Every structure is written in C-alpha cells, then in structure tokens.
Amino acid sequence: MDAASTPADDRTGRERILDAAIRRFADQGVDGTSLRTIAADAGVSQALIVHHFGSKEGLREACDTHILGAIRAQMRQAAAEGRDLDVLETFRRRQEHAAALPYLARSLAEGAPSVVALVDELADETVRAMADGVENGTYVPSEHPRERALVLLIWSLGAIALHDHVRRLLGADLTGDPAGLLPYLRGATDLLTDGLFSEALRDRVRDAITQLEQER
C-alpha cells in the first residue's frame, strides 16, 4: 500500500521515492528493504527508481546526502550561533526533519561509510565547542579534554543508535520533540552535573588507570 502518500500526491515521483526510501531504510535497514517495497510505498514502478537513481546504491547515496547533509547543515548552524548546551540539541530541530534522527540511528548502527565523514565532523566540532565552553566557564576543565569531548559525543550518538532501548527502558523518545526526552535528560544531567564517583572511589579508579598505563 502507498501509506506514505496521500491519495492526491502531486509531488514528483523522484521526491516520493526518496521519501519512501528514507523511511524504509531508517526502520528496516538498507539490506532489509527491497526496491519493490519502496516502489510500492511511493506508488511507482520499480524501474522508475533505477531510472532516477541508477541503482539501489545510488538511491542509498541520495538518501545519505539528503539526510546527513541536513544534519550537517544544522550542526554548522548551531556552531555558528554558538549554541553548545547539548550535543543532541544540535539535531533536534524537528518539523520536516522528523525522519532525520531515525535515519541517522540506522546509519550509525549499520556503520554506513557515509556516516563516518559526518561523525568525524561532529567530533571536530564537539572538541572545539567544548574547548570554548571550558574557556568561558560553561564546562569544568579536564585533564583530557579531547578524550572527554569524544566520549561525550559517542555516548550521545550511541543513545540515538539505541533509541529503541531508550524508549523501552526509560520511556524517553530521543527522536521526538524535547519534552519526550525528559527521563533521559534527568539521568544525563544527574551524571554530568555531580558526576558519579564518590571521593572514595576516585582514587581507586585513578590508581587502576595509572596501573593500566604502566602495563602497556
């Protein structure tokens, strides 16, 4: 059925295909989605997909540049505006980009090659933004600022990649509007404001790490 399109869908076939593909790729994966399914969703013949995008791989690349490009643009915009409160916040500009986060989650999970470049850019941007944040007193200083920034990015992206588990365990919707991620924010801010380790544990952890350093 062409659930993706209203009865009178005057968008061009190419747009409907791209839309259906993004949705299917996001929740079934690329390998788990056939061109037939996408064609049916878009109310279009399978041959038209190949006509427009050359191949399934071509369609995948088109989806990647569409979605990942949009995310990239938002990241740059957020960076330019100097917003830096939460890495997640970079993405959560909702509306027509409703499909962006699930698509990103699936791309991360599949280890899609095109997502590597995006993650690398996010990494650079996060390291830079957090250095700024330390400088202007938003964040506390760190002995390992780069590692700290990257781990925080990994945690944020990892939570997105596991958003189904997050929803099940916490009842928080990481792909939806800000209000939906309240439970997640509670846990995250708890950890990021006061930390987790007590005074007693800090030394033990520090010792364990220096021991590891010497072992290598």
Site for a second copy in 80-99 (CB under 8 A): 85
In the bound state with DNA, the residue whose beta carbon lies nearer, of 29 and 180, is 29
Shortest distance in whole angstroms from residue 25 CB to DNA? 11
Q: What is the full DSSP assignment across 19-44?
A: HHHHHHHHHH-STT--HHHHHHHHTS
**Phi/psi at 13 (nearest 5 deg)?**
-55, -40
Q: Choose which of 27, 56, 108, 114 interacts with DNA (CB under 7 A).
A: 56
Q: Choose which of 21, 22, 23, 33 interacts with DNA (CB under 7 A).
A: 33
Shortest distance in whole angstroms from residue 22 CB to a second copy? 18
> How far are the Cα atoms of 91, 103, 106 from residue 12, in angstroms, in the given order?
27, 22, 26
Torsion of CA 69, 73, 74, 77, to 10 degrees: 170
Is residue 13 within the footprint of DNA (CB under 7 A)?
A: yes
Is residue 212 within the footprint of a second copy (CB under 8 A)?
A: yes
Is residue 35 within the footprint of DNA (CB under 7 A)?
A: yes
Q: Choose which of 55, 73, 169, 207 interacts with a second copy (CB under 8 A).
A: 169
Burial class (CB in 10 A: 0-12, 13-18, 19+), 101: buried
Is residue 126 within the footprint of DNA (CB under 7 A)?
A: no
Residue 113 contacts which entry, a second copy, DNA, none (Cβ below 5-8 A, type-dependent): none
Is residue 148 within the footprint of a second copy (CB under 8 A)?
A: yes
Pick from 99, 95, 73, 108: nearest CA to 21: 99
